[in-house]
Amino acid sequence: MATSKKDMKRNEIVSLCVFATISLVLMIRYSFAPTVLIIAVFHQFYWRRRGLPPGPIPLPLIGNTLSINMRNPAKTFSQWHVLYGPIYTVWLPHPMIVMASHEVLKESLIRQGAAFAGRPSGYIWSMFTKDSVHGDGIILCEGERWEQIREFAHKIFRNFGLGRIQMEERITHHIDYMIGHIDARLHGKQIKLDMEEPISLCVANIIQDFVLGKWHKFGDPQFRMFKNLIDAVLSDVASKSVQLVNAYPVLACLPIPALRRYRENGFALQRYFLNAIREHEQHLEMDGEPRDFIEAYLREMAVQKDNPHFNVFTLALASGDLWTGGMETTVTTLRWALAYLLYYPGVQEKCYEEIVKVFGCEQPCYARRKQLPYVEATITEVQRVVNVLPWAIPHRTIEDVEIMGFFLTKGTVVLPQYGTVYYDTRYFPEPEKFRPERFLDENGYYKKKPEMNPFGMGKRTCLGENLARYELFLLFTTLLQKYEFRPIEGEPLPSLERSEGMTNVPRKYRCTVIPRRSLDV
């Protein structure tokens, strides 16, 4: 149930009263306390917040952490947007400036993108980057190293044919393998199936082919182990206990289960990529086309021997960033897409009819996607309504900057909130409703909205955006071309409740998978 503006104001007053009551009790109990407490209250509720955009009153030590709906953070951020406007401050538990409208995001991330291109350092990140001040890898890096590694990764993507037919051939190869596996399970009949495994393995194989030059077979225990590690890391990193340790690293000495798991699993992932690099080093060839990203990077290391930014450790982190970024959001989006199609069979049927009209029995191809406006609109509407990344990775100002009348000093942490935009009624009327037609114009053509940016904006736009778009389109169209997905008779529809974590992951569900009859075209 949504919290009203009146209720949120009341909650702030209650927070203030609680703090004041505690202060009063201490003043009565301890004779030296009055002056200290008066200073503390003044510091907490005025001095710390002066000059910052408005926002909810923070509690001592924990800030606004307890006020956030961890299953749907965007809902809380949207409520604060109504109360405080398009730019406001939250304390998690340190101040973080939230950019909560398309206009503010455009101004900060595009028009002043260079000033907002930094990444904040924190205990939970720096433990994996050898405490480097400017981070390492791609996602958690900034400065000269980030610019060089990102530019090199772009170059490798281009050389591997991303955006051209070579990449599409790689993708369809792994999709065909997935379809063969599903068909073997069906034997021409309908079955109850959890689609997470085939989708996850297919997407993982695509990105592993690109990054590591290898892929897994269905049932491979190494893949399941690897997937479980990533799922656990993304779940634990967003937990309140780990975020509290990030704010107060001294707490790391305490036996906190989520922190222990996060640390162990994070280093296990790092070792996985370091081992893969060692295997590549043993069989490295300098001639011909590189097999994958790791081999291309190792060749560049040999050329740039004196460049400190090209090293094995940075390669391991960059490989992990590409793998995680290319895997999690795509798999999650497709799982949500099938879940929503179970709720909206009419949408599924319209997509199927459009796919059959354009491709018939032929393999769908990305080049003809504009002939499938309703399919594109459906995929985009899934991305909007689900908002797979409720916790966008924060930015950091690398210089003093003014934004919408507020002066932000160098080092200010900024949180882009795309989910707030996706549920803003100015851009998307009746945002709670799943309605693909909102992305079609009056003539039925796909209509791109500038407020819809599932891959981010500005200098920190997702490096693998083109690959993800290929995967989403080709997997979605192929699955609907081959199968019909229905709810399991006698069982409830899948829950649309989100799971807590860095990504909005659907809860596990099964559906009835029915093979489509051969099309007479």
Where exactly are the structural domains of the chain? 101-515
Contact 293, 208 (CB under 8 A): no
Q: Which is nearest to 384 in space by CA: 443, 457, 449?
A: 449
Per-residue pLDDT of the chain (521 residues; tens, 9 = 90+): 444 555 555 655 655 565 556 555 655 555 555 556 555 555 555 556 667 899 998 888 888 888 888 777 878 888 999 999 999 999 988 899 999 999 999 999 999 999 999 999 888 988 998 877 788 999 989 999 999 999 999 888 777 655 466 789 989 999 999 999 999 999 889 999 999 999 999 999 999 999 999 999 999 998 999 889 988 998 898 888 898 899 899 999 999 999 999 999 999 999 999 999 999 999 998 888 888 999 999 999 999 999 998 999 999 999 999 988 888 899 999 999 999 999 999 999 999 999 999 999 999 999 999 999 999 999 999 999 999 988 788 999 999 999 999 999 999 999 999 999 999 999 999 999 999 999 999 999 999 999 999 999 999 999 889 899 999 999 999 999 999 999 999 999 999 988 767 788 999 999 999 999 744 44
Contacts with 465 (C-beta within 8 Å, 6 or more apart), sequence order: 455
Q: Does domain 101-515 have CATH number 3.40.50.300?
A: no
Q: Which is nearest to 58 in space by CA: 25, 120, 9, 12?
A: 12
Whether residue 462 is annotated as binding a ligand: the answer is yes
Considering the entire predicted model, what is its pTM?
0.88
pLDDT at position 483 is: 98
DSSP character string of 184-228? HHHTTS-EEE-THHHHHHHHHHHHHHHHTS----TT-HHHHHHHH
pLDDT at position 121 is: 84
Contact 352, 517 (CB under 8 A): no
pLDDT at position 3 is: 45
Looking at residue 238, its amino acid is A
Q: Which is nearest to 72 in space by CA: 508, 509, 497?
A: 497
DSSP 118: B
By CB neighbour count within 10 A (0-12 exposed, 13-18 middle, 19+ buried), where does 62 fall? Answer: middle
Task: Report the distance separating Cα 130 and Cα 311, nearest Å.
Answer: 13
**Segments in 306-386 forming alpha helices (H):** 312-343, 345-359, 373-386
pLDDT at position 51 is: 79
pLDDT at position 63 is: 87
Q: Are strands 395-396 and 401-403 parallel, antiparallel or unpaired?
A: unpaired
Contact 377, 452 (CB under 8 A): no
Neighbouring CB atoms inside 10 A of 323's CB total 24
pLDDT at position 521 is: 41
Q: Which is nearest to 479 in space by CA: 380, 346, 335?
A: 335
